[in-house]
């Protein structure tokens, strides 16, 4: 039984790490690509700021994961504490993605007014979709671990 919980713990940590790594990669890509595509003037600063927020959130989660894994290696953190911390990491990443959805809506409206803005909208909506999929996996793994706790 303990082996199952350790396996679930590793799976939850791996899912959260995968999500954070994907967020980092996608944010870096957007930060490099957005300046090269047409974005309406008032949206560019907001899109870049929120993309930087994705990068920041992924960095904070990666740091928190490293701390958690060090504590688990020393067995100073109970599994229940790990579930709470992983849930908080999931929430940090979700908040960053949720903030991006406001810009997605604005980019969509701009693209509907002028098709030159469509590539920026497509780029950001695709990244948002990828991140939501990773977040769902991370959240599901964290919830499964929490459900396995007494």
CB 37: neighbour CB atoms within 10 A? 16
pTM above 0.85, yes or no: yes
Distant-in-sequence, close-in-space partners of 10: CB < 8 Å, separation ≥ 6: none
Query: Which pair of tokens denotes residue 98?
Result: 């949720």
Which domains are present in the chain? 2-148 (1.20.120)
Q: Within a 10 A sphere around the Cβ of 111, how many other Cβ atoms?
A: 20
pLDDT digits 0-9 by tens, 16-48 = 999 999 999 999 999 999 999 999 888 999 999
For 71, the token pair is: 């504590």
Where does the pLDDT of residue 102 fall: very low under 50, low under 70, confident under 90, or very high at 90 and above? confident
Q: How many other C-beta atoms lie within 10 A of the C-beta of residue 80?
A: 12
In this predicted structure, the answer to whether residue 79 has a pLDDT above a threshold of 80 is no
CA distances from 107 to 25, 40, 130, 137 (A): 21, 8, 17, 27
Whether 3 shows a pLDDT value over 60: the answer reads yes
3-state DSSP call for residue 19?
helix
Q: Residue 114: is it exposed, middle or buried by C-beta count within 10 angstroms (0-12/13-18/19+)?
A: exposed
């Amino acid at each position: 039984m303990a082996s199952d919980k350790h396996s679930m713990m590793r799976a939850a940590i791996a899912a959260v790490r995968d999500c954070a790594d994907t967020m980092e990669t996608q944010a870096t890509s957007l930060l490099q690509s957005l300046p090269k595509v047409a974005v309406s003037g008032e949206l560019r600063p907001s899109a870049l700021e929120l993309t930087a927020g994705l990068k920041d959130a992924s960095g904070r989660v990666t740091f928190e994961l490293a701390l958690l894994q060090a504590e688990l290696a020393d067995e100073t953190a109970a599994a229940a504490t790990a579930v709470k911390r992983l849930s908080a990491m999931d929430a940090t990443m979700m908040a960053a993605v949720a903030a991006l959805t406001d810009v997605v809506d604005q980019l969509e409206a701009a693209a509907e007014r002028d098709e030159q803005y469509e590539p920026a909208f497509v780029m950001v909506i695709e990244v948002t979709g990828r991140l939501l999929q990773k977040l769902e996996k991370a959240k599901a793994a964290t919830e499964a671990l929490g459900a396995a706790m007494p």
